[in-house]
Amino acid sequence: MRPAPPPREPVGMTTTSIPRATSEPIIEVTDLHKSYGGRAVVNGVSFSVEEGEIFGILGLNGAGKTTTVECIEGLRKPDSGRIRVAGLDPVTEHKAVTNVLGSQLQESDLQAKLTVREALELYSSFYARPLDWKPLAERLNLTAKLTTRFGGLSGGQKQRLFIALALIGAPRVVVLDELTTGLDPRARRDTWELIEDVRDSGVTVILVTHIMEEAQRLCDRIALIGQGRISALDTPSGLVGRTAGSTVISFTPSAPLDNESLSSLPGLTDVEYKNDRITLSGSDETVNAVISLLVRSRITAHQLRVSDATLDDAFLDLTKS
Amino acid sequence: MTDTTTTASPTAMAPATEGRRVSPRVAVLISETRLFFREPANLFWIIVFPSLILVILGCVPMFREENDDLGGLRLIDIYVPIAVLVAQIVAGIQAMPPTLTGYRERGILRRMSTTPARPSTLLAVQMLLNSALAVLSALLVITVGRLVFSVDLPSHVGGYAVGLLLATAACLATGALVSALASTSRYAAGFASAIFFPALFCVGVWIPVRSMPDTLANVVELTPFGAAASALEQAAAGGWPDWSLLGTLVAWAVVLTAAAIRWFRWE
């Protein structure tokens, strides 16, 4: 599929959707610094992205996510640090990088009176080896809109067109920046499927988002950025597991439980009482201990729910410190 | 798409067929030309308005009377070069800046800079389009003057052409500087209007430069618009325009272009 995989890649690794192949990382960022007017927006960020993965960059607004990817796209010049995209420098080898990296930008429109078809044709003319835009439009569900002007498209349609434009140069990696912000839940879910599709076709995806659900569902790995630094970098479940109280147990006991036996539960990090309902945060160990405690005390647990903490909880927990 | 190791996907598709492919520059030119003709307001102001002014003025009987103060010319004769310059001002100063600033404001230039094409292509194409239409409009004005009001064609064609092209360049450079300095397209439109009316005054829309009091005429001829008006009038009358006028135009075009390049921001 991809034009030039390193020859030493072992046989059996040809399925492009397997993340972390043994090849060189497609993107390497080392000690990136960028400040505006003396204010450090990106302050020593390092990470690498492996070919074939969906890599999430997650953080609150103003955390430095967009600045980081703009440096990768070569739209901004880093103050210091080293960036390589498929071995290329985005500033000094900008044109070569644009052939490898496709970008869907935040807050970037097209001419209002340009039709979808004209936009696709125009952007494919920019590349030496573009994809055929017709099947691309078909796949992105834009065929019915080819003669519609950009100004007449819905938010979801615009985003699909932007994804098409990011892919039209047949890049090895695409950067999708806050793709689903402002989309309705249906359009958002459709877009998620599309992103998985893109990855399955062998294109590496860098997904910038502040929507936890999106990151948790799509990303193979997530870099959590806060105040210009990476505060955590892990798989979604790794991030969730890293937080204290990663398992949440809640139930309504048939008879009151005494405080002491609850608070001595192993692995417990938090207890909450709300009306008759008890919510415990802890680990797997806590779950077992609660169940045996209930059995021993002959108490029935109504509406017993055991769930993993969400990435939301992890995010709040990790950005707190 | 029959490759068994991958699933059907947007990129698992054949690359576009070779041949009949146009270069990015040509593609941008085609696309921008198309978009230009989708803006009826621009077309009206650049192509129709200058000739329309001439026709309306020509309907006033006084404009068609020979006038001893004008050396036997009619006012309509004097107004042909003025209408020609109105076209340059409308295109360069009124139409172009909001478009260019809008391209920056709306991230169109930014999106282009993530592709192998250069966003400067878009700016260059816009300038080319606006100047081409301005010159076209000038030719239309001259034709209307000739056919409808029997205004003589410019006697010194070379001088007229040089004066016209320098005037186009100076107007585009003014517009480029407005685009460079204005942060939003609304601001650009306001900024452009602030220059638009003084520019119309300087080319003599209200009083032809030759009828202005000497001091005023001397000041007006220091502006690119006044200099262009006098240069075209001299060439229309049959002489090579004064070097001082052409020099003034060149100086403005160079300084304004340099300033526009110096202050233009890509985002």
CB contact under 8 Å between B10 and A113, yes or no, is: no
Q: Where does the pLDDT of residue B215 fall: very low under 50, low under 70, confident under 90, or very high at 90 and above?
A: very high
Report yes or no on B55 lying in a domain. yes
Report yes or no on B129 lying in a domain. yes
A137 Cβ under 8 Å from any chain B Cβ: no
B43 Cβ under 8 Å from any chain A Cβ: no
Report yes or no on B2 lying in a domain. no
CB contact under 8 Å between A131 and B11, yes or no, is: yes
Contact status, residue A204 vs residue A55, Cβ threshold 8 Å: yes
Q: How far is CA A38 from the centre of its chain?
A: 29
* Pairwise CA distance, residues B203 & B205, whole Å: 6
User: Maximum Cα–Cα distance for chain A, whole Å?
Assistant: 74
* Pairwise CA distance, residues B170 & B249, whole Å: 6
Cα of B34 to nearest chain A Cα, Å = 9
**Which of A93, A97, A122, A198 best tests the B interface by mutation, with the highest count of B CBs <10 A?**
A122
Residues of B with CB below 8 A from A201's CB? 6-7, 9-12
**Which of A73, A76, A108 best tests the B interface by mutation, with the highest count of B CBs <10 A?**
A108
Cα of A135 to nearest chain B Cα, Å = 7
* Tokens 């002007």 belong to residue: A149
Q: What pLDDT does residue A5 have?
A: 41
Residues of A with CB below 8 A from B29's CB? none
Report yes or no on B30 lying in a domain. yes
**Which of A93, A98, A126, A204 best tests the B interface by mutation, with the highest count of B CBs <10 A?**
A126
Q: Which residue of A has its CA nearest to B107?
A: A108
Report yes or no on B15 lying in a domain. no
Report yes or no on B8 lying in a domain. no
CB contact under 8 Å between A114 and B31, yes or no, is: yes
CB contact under 8 Å between A132 and B17, yes or no, is: yes
A95 Cβ under 8 Å from any chain B Cβ: yes
* Pairwise CA distance, residues A171 & A164, whole Å: 11
Contact status, residue A161 vs residue A139, Cβ threshold 8 Å: no
Q: What pLDDT does residue A124 have?
A: 95
- The closest CB to that of B3, out of A1, A99, A198, belongs to A1
B107 Cβ under 8 Å from any chain A Cβ: yes
Residues of A with CB below 8 A from B40's CB? none
- Domain containing B214: what range? 24-263
- The closest CB to that of A167, out of B11, B106, B112, belongs to B11
A138 Cβ under 8 Å from any chain B Cβ: no
Cα of A224 to nearest chain B Cα, Å = 25
Q: Which residue of A has its CA nearest to B103?
A: A111
ipTM of the complex model: 0.84
CB contact under 8 Å between B6 and A135, yes or no, is: no
B18 Cβ under 8 Å from any chain A Cβ: no
A90 Cβ under 8 Å from any chain B Cβ: no
* Pairwise CA distance, residues B186 & B35, whole Å: 19
Residues of B with CB below 8 A from A108's CB? 106-108, 110-111
Domain count, chain B: 1
Cα of A72 to nearest chain B Cα, Å = 11
- The closest CB to that of A132, out of B14, B34, B116, belongs to B14
Residue B16 predicted with pLDDT over 70: no
A141 Cβ under 8 Å from any chain B Cβ: no
Q: Amino acid identity, residue A114? A: L
Report yes or no on B149 lying in a domain. yes
CA distances from B247 to A312, B104, B162, B221, B243 (A): 68, 33, 12, 11, 6
CB contact under 8 Å between A105 and B111, yes or no, is: yes
CB contact under 8 Å between A201 and B15, yes or no, is: no
CB contact under 8 Å between A198 and B13, yes or no, is: no
User: Which H, E and C letters describe chain A, residue by residue?
Assistant: CCCCCCCCCCCCCCCCCCCCCCCCCCEEEEEEEEEECCEEEEEEEEEEECCCCEEEEECCCCCCHHHHHHHHCCCCCCCEEEEEECCECCCCCHHHHHCCEEEECCCCCCCCCCEHHHHHHHHHHCCCCCECHHHHHHHCCCHHHCCCEHHHCCHHHHHHHHHHHHHCCCCCEEEEECCCCCCCHHHHHHHHHHHHHHHHCCCEEEEEECCHHHHHHHCCEEEEEECCEEEEEECHHHHHHHCCCCEEEEEEECCCCCHHHHHCCCCCCEEEEECCEEEEEECHHHHHHHHHHHHHCCCCEEEEEEEECCHHHHHHHHHHC
Q: Give kind and range of the element (H or E) at residue B87.
A: helix B75-89
Q: What pLDDT does residue B15 have?
A: 55
CB contact under 8 Å between B14 and A164, yes or no, is: no
Report yes or no on B130 lying in a domain. yes
Q: Using DSSP bridges, classify how beta strands A301-308 and A39-49 pair: parallel, antiparallel or unpaired.
A: unpaired
A123 Cβ under 8 Å from any chain B Cβ: yes
Report which of residues B35 and B62 the model is more confident about.
B35
* Pairwise CA distance, residues A259 & A113, whole Å: 67
Q: Which residue of A has its CA nearest to B21?
A: A125
Residues of A with CB below 8 A from B117's CB? 125-126
Contact status, residue A229 vs residue A44, Cβ threshold 8 Å: yes
CB contact under 8 Å between A164 and B10, yes or no, is: yes
Q: Amino acid identity, residue A179? A: L
> In sequence order, which residues have a C-beta less than 8 Å from that of residue B221 and are 6 or more positions away?
B209, B227, B230, B245, B248
Residue-wise pLDDT tens digits, B118-150: 999 999 999 999 999 999 999 999 999 999 998
Residues of B with CB below 8 A from A150's CB? none
pLDDT in tens, chain A (321 residues): 444 444 433 333 344 444 444 568 999 999 999 998 888 999 999 999 999 999 999 988 888 899 999 999 999 999 999 999 999 999 999 999 999 999 998 888 999 999 999 999 999 999 999 999 999 999 888 999 999 999 999 988 998 999 999 999 999 999 999 888 778 888 888 889 989 999 999 999 999 988 888 888 899 999 999 888 998 899 988 887 776 667 888 899 988 887 788 888 888 888 888 888 888 888 878 888 888 888 888 888 889 888 877 777 777 777 665
B41 Cβ under 8 Å from any chain A Cβ: no
